[in-house]
């Protein structure tokens, strides 16, 4: 299903790589509609070209907090209680997601109840109440979310967030989009309100509509939202992050029986890159998210029982809800990254696991490139699996809006079609061209990090401890174990390994 | 902020991918009448007892293939064996003589399928979702592994490590310990007293349980204890023919171990968890309520969960928005074969307010038993159920999982529609009667969680 792109969006799409400063600034929001159908649900996504990159210095989390207060704090005649009371009987979804460069106000409602939701949605954008009591409540929740949930009760996401911040040091993506604790606490209601007026502006907005909507809906939305300020803050430049690869390790000191591990590096690979289809095959063969086919999953979990899962990604990835095949939309970015996620490993095996991932990466580049059989199998996999990515109207709309931002239009269909021509040679050539293990940076979240640092700098052997030593394992695996136990960490100088207490992270 | 009436079952969210809940149904019908599962289902039972449910759905070129086995942590009655239903789910991916694990994996990969499984208290569900052209291969491979599963002791011992890893991924959050404590406090005898993933001590001993796992397979992985659900774009007669061929030779009869009956709780219970890291304190108040076979009570519990603790409830509006004592309030009801727990869990901002929050939650139930009912809010809850139903089931995968999950409770493929017919009929008097019967002081269990320092204070 092809999205119908209106007016200025055509231009935007053609200029997808241009900086915002060069793009025209229309007085009314752009519109992107998918053809209306007879489904019960109407999906509306108001996509603003703003996000955490627009948080001013010392105000990390401002865009996120302002957007949350708009959606939850009451709007127009409805205070926060009345807002819940209006949404609940019609089971309407009203939410907002803030990423680095994109913020999406999401509404999903039964078409019979659309007239009830519509004034609420436009009031959230045009007339948020900014009640001080609601602001303080939502601010406190945002602080607790970072301070108590992320830093203390969610090691896997903490590891990913710490890696993100590490590989983007000095880049607009460095700060946590959810905010930093002391900065969030210092934000005032007036600052949130002023910030919203600067970033949720008509020139940054694309109105997306899909599902069983009435013909008049897109026009009504655009007309109403033309009441937004025409323009506001200048666009933030997002230059490509070079990435020094240093420090090699960031060790987050935190108690626990297991250690969360993430590694990655920034790069310029994009969905529009000619290498994207070949790289998608390599990525999937290395470690498809929450599937069993990847080398990392097969060798770390299936053969060695090191942990629950091991995956690789060639662009920023967040799973959307409970389905493994659903990558969140609305997180399209102009700067991308390679990452590897090892789910928590028992502390005794954590450095073996790090080395095993580095070892497998090295093998994929040199001694054991992706075989024709692996490539054929992975191409078959993606040919079917991509079909699952946009089964619902809201997901189709999300992909279309992403395409309008970073390109290409028709991303999923184009990707799937391009797979046919991908050869094993192309897969390995692209993988070798893009992946540079010496630039990888590595985060561990767990206890006793001074000891870990010593082991890394001394390149100390770290043999695997099998949970059950009585099992007879195949000779090649035991030989590989011995090699992995001594595989170089790639860190020799004191400054290559930083330790940070968890309380200091995102403070 | 979606507020469906059926709420996240915290209890169940601890093993494997979170099982999607009895989320109801779909499309062009107006939401005036509540048929939660509006699709026709063709059912056939093979001579060996295996039931097959076919649900055509408009998803061109795609099909979802689900196998429900009515076994879960509920069936782990022997001491020291918590977590085996879930462990066994992992072993089902280790293959057969005809199709060893790596070949099974290579094949489902080549076909472009999203392949996984999940385990809950009452069920283990295996699922594949992808191109319809893969269906003949899916049927052949699935039939083979359910009949001929064969794994070595080495594979078994290695897989135990992945279970430990699965436990580890949840262990940094206080919720896992909180759930463990709630279950073992509220239940004395029934197997719901342990979590789906099992106790850490039992998981560590899993490598030695090879013989027990084989026995588990013989007892529960039998055709008369399984239902296959196929939803999406497929040829019905051909699919039935292939399933008949692939599964016809599957033998065995269900040999369940008796599950202890939980005696009525006679006195309020209480327990506390001391958490080693900084955290928001938590308080969870829960009551035993009837199991899924009591349709009427299950429907009332579903309505009451939202009525008492949903976003428009006085408790929510007081604790979250008014006095702002809590950071989050979740209703924690779920549908289960045997009597589950019903209640609410709050993340409290300050330890000093835990008692006040507990009182507000427990008090709301007491008020309900004594006082009048807000009929407007009752109407809103039913309206929410209708609209949620009409918005769900928007792809073949959702259709299949909803039917599979809701079939486990009583074995009835029409369970969800029967339950929602009852939801429509819930009256104000039903709410009060339910509260008087079940939401009593004696039937209540309260578990709190706080840091050591806060506990000392």
Tell me the DSSP string of A387-431.
GGTT-SHHHHHHHHHHHHHH--TTHHHHHHHHHTT--HHHHHHHH
Q: Report the candidate in B295, B356, B298 with the shortest Cα–Cα distance to residue B324.
A: B356
Non-local (6+) Cβ contacts of A241 within 8 A are A167, A168, A170, A171, A173, A266, A335
Contacts of B386 in chain A (CB under 8 A): 91
Give the residue on B whose Cα is nearest the Cα of A95: B1
d(CA A120, CA B110): 47
Q: Counting one residue from A and one from B, how many pairs have CB atoms under 8 Å apart?
A: 246
Taking the model in full, what pTM does it have?
0.93
Which residue(s) pair with B125 in the sheet?
B68, B118
B153 has a pLDDT exceeding 50: yes
Contacts 24+ apart (CB under 8 A), B91-95: B91/B149, B91/B151, B91/B155, B91/B156, B91/B159, B91/B213, B92/B117, B92/B126, B92/B145, B92/B149, B93/A292, B93/B117, B94/B149, B94/B150, B94/B151, B94/B155, B94/B156, B94/B159, B95/B145, B95/B149, B95/B150, B95/B151
Span A167-183, average pLDDT = 98
Determine the pLDDT at residue A28.
85
Dig out the tokens for A436 from the structure.
């540079």
Determine the pLDDT at residue B33.
61
Dig out the tokens for B308 from the structure.
């008492």
Q: How far is CA A323 from CA A14, A105, A331, B111, B393, in A?
A: 32, 22, 17, 18, 14
Span A316-345, average pLDDT = 95
Partner-chain contact B168 A258, CB within 8 Å:
yes
Q: For B160, which of A156, A377, A468 is closest by C-beta distance? A: A468
Partner-chain contact B390 A388, CB within 8 Å:
no
Contacts of A345 in chain B (CB under 8 A): 165, 168
> From start to end of B292-355, where are the E strands?
326-331, 341-348
Chain B closest CA to A106's CA: distance in Å? Answer: 10
Topology at the third CATH level for domain B10-28+36-247: Cytochrome Bc1 Complex; Chain A, domain 1 (3.30.830)
Between residues A20 and A354, which one has the greater pLDDT? A354
> Taking a C-beta distance cutoff of 8 angstroms, is the pair A33, A1 a contact?
no
B194 has a pLDDT exceeding 70: yes
Determine the pLDDT at residue A26.
53
Determine the pLDDT at residue B367.
87
Residue to mutate among B20, B174, B387, B388, with most A CBs inside 10 A, is: B387
Q: What is the mean pLDDT of chain B?
A: 91
**Residue-wise burial string across A280-311, b where 16 or more C-beta atoms lie within 10 A, e elsewhere:** bbbbbbbbbbbbbbbbbbbbbbbbbbbbbbbb
B447 has a pLDDT exceeding 60: yes
412-451 of A, contacting B, C-beta below 8 A: none
Between residues A293 and A456, which one has the greater pLDDT? A456
d(CA A246, CA A440): 9
Determine the pLDDT at residue A9.
34
Give the residue on A whose Cα is nearest the Cα of B307: A88
Partner-chain contact B395 A377, CB within 8 Å:
no
Determine the pLDDT at residue A271.
97
Span A427-434, average pLDDT = 98
Domain B269-456: homologous superfamily in CATH: Metalloenzyme, LuxS/M16 peptidase-like (3.30.830.10)
Determine the pLDDT at residue A128.
98
A3 has a pLDDT exceeding 50: no
316-355 of A, contacting B, C-beta below 8 A: 322-325, 343-346
Span A371-396, average pLDDT = 97
Residue positions counted in chain A: 507
Confidence bin at A310 (pLDDT 50/70/90): very high
Domains of chain A: 4-225 (3.30.830.10), 257-442 (3.30.830.10)
> Taking a C-beta distance cutoff of 8 angstroms, is the pair B433, B53 a contact?
no
Q: For B277, which of A134, A137, A152 is closest by C-beta distance? A: A152
The reply to whether A257 touches chain B by the CB within 8 Å rule is yes
Chain B closest CA to A493's CA: distance in Å? Answer: 31
Partner-chain contact A387 B61, CB within 8 Å:
yes
Non-local (6+) Cβ contacts of A435 within 8 A are A338, A361, A364, A365
Spell out the domain ranges in chain B. 10-28+36-247, 269-456
Determine the pLDDT at residue B34.
63
d(CA A185, CA A71): 20
d(CA A54, CA A60): 9
B234 has a pLDDT exceeding 50: yes
Confidence bin at B453 (pLDDT 50/70/90): confident
Q: What is the mean pLDDT of chain A?
A: 94
Give the residue on A whose Cα is nearest the Cα of B109: A381
B14 has a pLDDT exceeding 50: no
A191 has a pLDDT exceeding 50: yes
Residue range B345-363, pLDDT digits in tens? 999 999 999 999 999 999 9
- DSSP letters along B43-89, please? EEE-TTS-EEEEEE-S-TTEEEEEEEES-SGGG--STT-TTHHHHHH
Non-local (6+) Cβ contacts of B300 within 8 A are B422, B426, B430, B431, B434
Determine the pLDDT at residue A409.
94
Residue range A6-37, pLDDT digits in tens? 433 333 333 333 333 344 445 689 999 999 99
Determine the pLDDT at residue A468.
84
363-382 of A, contacting B, C-beta below 8 A: 376-378, 380-382
> What single DSSP character describes residue B191?
G
Residue range A460-484, pLDDT digits in tens? 999 999 988 888 999 999 999 999 9
Residue range B38-60, pLDDT digits in tens? 999 999 999 999 999 999 999 99
B179 has a pLDDT exceeding 90: yes
Share of chain B above pLDDT 70, in %: 92
């Amino acid at each position: 299903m092809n999205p119908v792109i209106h007016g200025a969006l055509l231009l935007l799409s053609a200029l997808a790589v241009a900086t915002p400063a060069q793009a025209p600034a229309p007085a009314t929001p752009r519109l992107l509609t998918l053809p209306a159908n007879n489904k019960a649900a109407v999906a509306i996504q108001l996509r603003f070209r703003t996000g955490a990159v627009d948080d001013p210095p010392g105000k990390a989390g401002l865009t996120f907090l302002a957007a949350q207060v708009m959606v939850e704090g009451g709007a127009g005649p409805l205070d926060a209680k009345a807002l819940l009371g209006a949404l609940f009987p019609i089971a309407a979804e009203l939410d907002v997601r803030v990423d680095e460069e994109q913020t999406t106000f999401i509404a999903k409602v039964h078409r019979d109840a659309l007239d009830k939701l519509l004034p609420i949605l436009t009031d959230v954008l045009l007339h948020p109440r900014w009640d001080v009591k609601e602001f303080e409540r939502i601010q406190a929740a945002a602080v607790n979310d970072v301070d108590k949930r992320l830093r203390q009760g969610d090691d896997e996401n903490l590891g990913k967030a710490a890696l993100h911040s590490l590989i983007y040091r000095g880049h607009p993506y460095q700060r946590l989009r959810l905010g930093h604790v002391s900065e969030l606490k210092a934000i005032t209601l007036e600052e949130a309100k002023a910030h919203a007026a600067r970033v949720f502006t008509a020139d940054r907005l694309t109105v997306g509509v899909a599902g069983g909507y009435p013909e008049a809906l897109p026009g009504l939305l655009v007309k109403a939202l033309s009441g937004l300020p025409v323009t506001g803050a200048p666009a933030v430049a997002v230059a490509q992050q070079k990435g020094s690869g240093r420090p090699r390790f960031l060790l987050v000191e935190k108690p626990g029986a297991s250690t969360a591990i993430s590694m990655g590096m920034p790069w310029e690979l994009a969905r529009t890159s000619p290498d994207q289809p070949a790289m998608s095959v390599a990525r999937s063969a290395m470690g498809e998210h929450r599937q069993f086919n990847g080398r990392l999953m097969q060798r770390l979990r299936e053969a060695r029982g090191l942990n629950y899962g091991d995956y690789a990604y060639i662009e920023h990835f967040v799973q959307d809800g409970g389905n493994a095949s659903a990558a969140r939309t609305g997180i399209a970015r102009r700067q991308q990254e390679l990452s590897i996620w090892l789910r928590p490993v028992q502390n005794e095996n954590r450095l073996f696991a790090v080395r095993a991932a580095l070892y497998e990466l090295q093998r994929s580049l040199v001694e054991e490139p992706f075989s024709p059989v692996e490539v054929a199998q992975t191409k078959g996999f993606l040919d079917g699996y991509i079909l699952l990515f946009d089964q619902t109207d809201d997901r189709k709309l999300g992909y279309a809006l992403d395409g309008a931002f970073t390109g290409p239009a028709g991303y999923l269909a184009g990707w799937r079609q391009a797979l046919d021509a991908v050869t094993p040679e192309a897969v390995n050539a692209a993988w070798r061209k893009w992946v540079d293990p010496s630039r990888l940076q590595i985060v561990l979240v767990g206890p006793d990090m001074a000891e870990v640092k010593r082991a890394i700098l001394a390149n100390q052997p770290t043999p695997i401890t099998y949970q059950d030593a009585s099992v007879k394992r195949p000779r090649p695996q035991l030989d590989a174990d011995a090699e992995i136990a001594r595989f170089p960490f790639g860190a020799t100088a004191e400054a290559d390994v930083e330790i940070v207490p968890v309380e200091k992270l995102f403070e | 902020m979606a507020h469906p009436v059926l709420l996240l079952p915290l209890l169940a969210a601890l093993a494997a991918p979170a099982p999607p809940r009895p989320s109801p149904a779909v499309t062009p019908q107006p939401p005036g009448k509540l048929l939660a599962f509006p699709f026709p289902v063709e059912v056939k039972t093979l001579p060996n007892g295996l039931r097959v449910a076919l649900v055509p759905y408009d998803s061109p070129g795609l099909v979802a293939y689900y196998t429900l086995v009515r076994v879960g942590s509920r069936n782990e009655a022997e001491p020291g064996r918590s977590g085996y239903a879930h462990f066994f789910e992992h072993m089902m991916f280790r293959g057969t003589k005809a199709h060893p694990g790596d070949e099974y994996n290579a094949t489902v990969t080549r076909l472009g399928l999203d392949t996984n499984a999940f385990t809950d208290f009452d069920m283990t569900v295996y699922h594949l979702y992808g191109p319809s052209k893969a269906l003949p291969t899916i049927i052949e491979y699935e039939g083979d592994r359910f009949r001929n599963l064969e794994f070595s002791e080495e594979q078994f011992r290695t897989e135990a490590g992945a279970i430990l890893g699965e436990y580890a991924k949840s262990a940094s959050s206080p919720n896992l310990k909180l759930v463990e404590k709630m279950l073992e406090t509220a239940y004395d005898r029934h197997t719901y007293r342990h979590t789906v993933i099992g106790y850490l001590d039992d998981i560590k001993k899993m490598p030695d349980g090879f013989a027990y796992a084989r026995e588990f397979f013989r007892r529960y992985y039998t055709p008369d204890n399984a239902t296959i659900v196929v939803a999406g774009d497929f040829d019905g007669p051909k699919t039935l023919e292939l399933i008949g061929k692939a599964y016809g030779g599957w033998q065995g009869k269900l040999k369940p171990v008796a599950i202890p009956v939980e005696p009525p709780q006679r006195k309020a219970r209480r327990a506390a968890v001391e958490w080693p890291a900084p955290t928001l304190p938590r308080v969870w108040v829960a009551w035993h309520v009837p199991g899924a076979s009591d349709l009427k009570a299950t429907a009332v519990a579903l309505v009451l969960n939202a009525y008492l603790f949903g976003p428009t409830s006085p408790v929510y509006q007081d604790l979250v928005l008014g006095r702002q004592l809590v950071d989050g309030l979740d209703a924690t009801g779920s549908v289960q074969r045997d009597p589950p727990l019903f209640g609410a869990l709050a993340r409290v901002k300050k330890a000093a307010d835990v008692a006040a929050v507990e009182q507000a939650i427990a008090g709301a139930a007491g008020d309900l038993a004594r006082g009048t009912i807000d009929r407007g809010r009752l109407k809103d809850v039913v309206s929410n159920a209708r609209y949620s139903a009409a918005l769900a089931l928007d792809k073949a995968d959702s259709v299949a999982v909803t039917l599979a999950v809701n079939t486990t409770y009583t074995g009835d493929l029409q369970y969800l529609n029967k339950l929602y017919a009852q939801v429509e009929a819930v009256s104000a008097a039903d709410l009060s009667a339910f509260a008087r019967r079940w939401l009593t002081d004696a039937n209540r269990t309260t578990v709190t969680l706080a840091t050591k320092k806060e506990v000392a204070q």
